[in-house]
């Protein structure tokens, strides 16, 4: 039973560039949430996708966008990168019907913006 997988694990970009991060949810899950975790901080909710639509969004600018595919996998895109976007980006999956269940996290994609 595959868990949540994320790619790439590490990447380095320069200011102004764009990045795409990918996530495959745990088998059987249909909801994907993305979190940003700065060094020494807790994860901050970016947005959540269910049925290929953005269902909820945190306090992040429009530079952060996403997509969910029919197979439930998801992408996070960040445009016009800033130094402050350097963080660990975590994908978490869940099953919508449970509504208030646990999240299963991937190992994250560590983004460094120079």
List of residues contacting other proteins (CB under 8 A): 4, 31, 33, 35, 40-45, 48, 50, 55-56, 58-59, 88, 90, 92, 96, 99-108, 110
Q: Nearer Cβ to other proteins, position 53 or 62?
A: 53
3-state SS class at 63:
coil
Q: Which two tokens stand for residue 55?
A: 């269902």
Q: Nearer Cβ to other proteins, position 8 or 16?
A: 8
| Rounded least distance, CB 6 to other proteins, Å | 8
Rounded Cα gap, residues 29 and 26, in angstroms: 6
Rounded Cα gap, residues 112 and 66, in angstroms: 19
Q: Which helix (H) or strand (E) holds 21?
A: strand 19-24
| Rounded least distance, CB 93 to other proteins, Å | 11
| Rounded least distance, CB 16 to other proteins, Å | 26
Q: Nearer Cβ to other proteins, position 16 or 69?
A: 69
Q: Nearer Cβ to other proteins, position 15 or 102?
A: 102
3-state SS class at 97:
helix
Helices then strands, each counted (H, E), the chain: 0, 11
């Amino acid at each position: 039973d595959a868990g949540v997988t994320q790619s790439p694990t590490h990447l380095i970009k320069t200011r102004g560039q764009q990045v795409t991060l990918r996530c495959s949810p745990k088998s059987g899950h249909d909801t994907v949430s993305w979190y940003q975790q700065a060094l020494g901080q807790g994860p901050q909710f970016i947005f959540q996708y269910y049925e290929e639509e953005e269902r909820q969004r945190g306090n992040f600018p429009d530079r952060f966008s996403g997509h969910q595919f029919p197979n439930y996998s998801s992408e996070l895109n960040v445009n016009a990168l800033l130094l402050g976007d350097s963080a660990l980006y975590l994908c978490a999956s869940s099953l919508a019907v449970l509504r208030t269940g646990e999240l299963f996290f991937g190992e994250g994609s560590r983004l460094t913006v120079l």
